[in-house]
């Protein structure tokens, strides 16, 4: 799918809009190249996440595997960001169980709904309260969680955290959703989903 930046005529923020779209397009292009180069599923995940976080304003990117254990765990498979921001994901527990507190975040929401979940500002979104203080320490202001579908099941989620509120508008979401489709194809090629027995 070919995606080109769009422009809202008459908008006073056209410059900022075009710049944010360019960041997203560059991240998408770099991640797509990483998919081609990857030789293992772990390398694929790490290289895609790294490609995303090389572009401003994306601070952290990680991919989680949807597990069918009793806790309905979301297991982080790979994370990228600066040496400092990468630590955000260390020790975090995540679930897609609607009854659990750690299942209320964007990852859990997108696994349950099968749709992209966007938190435009973590400072005002009540569903992110559990992680808000931690996220603020790393400069995070907005988050997107994109479900990765395989054979009609949500098998993984791709999360991207940005340093600016409202970083993920329609154009950016289309790019990251397209990237999720490419990631699915790449991981399926390595047989990751069959090996892990995941599904949501």
Residue 191, pLDDT score: 80
Which tens digit of pLDDT belongs to each residue from 147-186?
Answer: 999 988 999 999 999 999 999 989 889 989 988 888 888 8
- For residues 65 and 77, the answer to whether their CB atoms sit within 8 Å is yes
pLDDT band at 2 (very low <50, low <70, confident <90, very high): very low
Checking if the pLDDT of 105 tops 50, the result is yes
Cis amide leading into 57 (omega within 30): yes
Checking if the pLDDT of 17 tops 80, the result is no
Residue 15, pLDDT score: 67
Q: Which two tokens stand for residue 173?
A: 């979401």
Share of the chain above pLDDT 70, in %: 88
Cβ neighbours of residue 120 under 8 Å, at least 6 residues apart?
A: 142, 165, 166, 168
How much is the pTM? Answer: 0.85
């Amino acid at each position: 799918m070919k995606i080109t930046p769009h422009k809202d005529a008459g908008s006073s923020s056209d410059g900022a809009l075009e710049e944010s779209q360019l960041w997203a397009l560059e991240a998408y292009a770099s991640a797509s190249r990483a998919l081609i180069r990857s030789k293992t599923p772990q390398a694929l995940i790490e290289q895609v996440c790294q490609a995303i976080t090389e572009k401003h304003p994306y601070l952290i990117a990680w991919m989680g595997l949807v597990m069918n254990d009793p806790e309905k765990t979301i297991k982080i498979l790979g994370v990228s960001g600066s040496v400092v921001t990468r630590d955000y994901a260390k020790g975090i527990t995540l679930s897609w169980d609607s009854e659990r507190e750690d299942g209320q975040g964007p990852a859990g929401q997108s696994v349950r709904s099968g749709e992209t979940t966007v938190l435009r500002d973590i400072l005002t979104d009540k569903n992110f309260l559990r992680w808000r203080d931690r996220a603020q320490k790393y400069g995070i202001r907005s988050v997107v969680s994109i479900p990765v579908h395989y054979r009609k099941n949500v098998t993984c989620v791709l999360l991207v955290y940005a340093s600016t509120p409202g970083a993920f508008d329609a154009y950016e979401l289309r790019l990251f959703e397209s990237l999720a489709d490419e990631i699915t194809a790449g991981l399926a090629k390595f047989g990751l989903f069959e090996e892990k027995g995941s599904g949501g």
